[in-house]
Amino acid sequence: MDERLPLIGDRFPETTVLTTHGKKTLPGDYKGKWFVLFSHPGDFTPVCTTEFYSFALKNDEFEKLNCKLIGLSVDQVFSHIKWAEWINENLKVKIPFPIIADEMGLLALKLGMLHPSKGTNTVRAVFVIDPEGNIRTMLYYPQELGRNMDEILRIVKALQVGAENKGAMPANWPNNELLGDKIIVSPATDEKTAEINREKYDCYDWWFCYKDMK
């Protein structure tokens, strides 16, 4: 039996989970949609509360990208429900996305969210999954560092634009210091294609060509 952790490009492991929105099957219930699964160390903790508040504020922007948000920790579903109520009552923001109650830590173990040095708490992990159920991005953060939701949103946008334009995305896209919001053309692997790319695109060299977005 293959016990290794999934890698970028692998299919997200099929699993049924209990959430604050009822039982869900991943990735099956999200077929045809992108989704971002993110774990947090624990409910009713300060950094996690700021993260859920921020994710809730960004939810509509993810929705516009046909992307769903899903939270996860090893807390019980009752704790998730009460914490979401506390955020709504005290911070005036409703948590619109489901939160997985991974009480036995089964999904967390499959995804490398449980680290021995952190006890039973899940680390801050982020998985970006495409509409076919494939893992496209994996991020891990230490417990003491809250995530940047604008960066996670940028990742989803960049992956979608890159796929649509059949190219790669430069650093800091869409505000790259060299290329702005342009797309990098995949480097040629033969002389003929290299010559075609030089004629067809703007290039710094045969291996560094770029084009406008569609």
The pLDDT tens digits of the residues spanning 186-210 come to: 999 999 999 999 999 999 999 999 9
Q: Which of 48, 67, 203, 209 is catalytic?
A: 48
Compute the Cα dihedral for 24, 26, 28, 29 and give only its sign. Answer: positive
Separation CA 86–CA 89 (nearest Å) = 5
Q: What is the model's pLDDT at position 5?
A: 87
Q: What is the model's pLDDT at position 214?
A: 86
Q: Is the pLDDT of residue 151 over 80?
A: yes
Q: Confirm if 55 and 89 have CB atoms less than 8 A apart.
A: no
* pTM tops 0.85, yes or no: yes
Q: What is the model's pLDDT at position 38?
A: 97
The 10s digit of each residue's pLDDT in 132-148 is 999 999 999 988 999 99
Residue type (1 letter), 95: I
Separation CA 6–CA 40 (nearest Å) = 19
Q: What is the model's pLDDT at position 175?
A: 97
The string of DSSP letters for 185-214 reads PPPPSSHHHHHHHHHHSEEEETTEEEE---
pLDDT-derived band of residue 114, with 50, 70 and 90 as boundaries?
Answer: confident
Residue 48 is among the residues annotated as catalytic for this protein:
yes
Sorted by sequence, the CB contacts under 8 Å of residue 38 that are 6+ apart come out as: 51, 55, 69, 70, 71, 72, 124, 125, 126, 127, 147, 152
Mean per-residue pLDDT, 8-30: 96
Separation CA 105–CA 160 (nearest Å) = 31
For the chain, give every residue range classified as CATH 3.40.30.10. 15-147
Tokens of 47: 């950094």
Q: Is the pLDDT of residue 3 over 70?
A: no
Mean predicted lDDT score pLDDT of the chain: 94
For the chain, give every residue range classified as CATH 3.30.1020.10. 166-214
Tell which CATH architecture fits domain 15-147. 3-Layer(aba) Sandwich (3.40)
CA dihedral 203, 206, 209, 214 (to 10 degrees): 110
Q: What is the model's pLDDT at position 1?
A: 38
Q: What is the model's pLDDT at position 119?
A: 60
Tokens of 212: 């406008």
CATH class of 166-214: alpha beta
Q: Confirm if 185 and 167 have CB atoms less than 8 A apart.
A: yes
Q: Is the pLDDT of residue 2 over 60?
A: no
Separation CA 191–CA 196 (nearest Å) = 9
User: How are strands ordered across the β-sheet holding 15-19?
Assistant: 22-26, 15-19, 99-101, 67-73, 34-39, 124-129, 135-141
Q: What is the model's pLDDT at position 117?
A: 60
Residue type (1 letter), 202: D
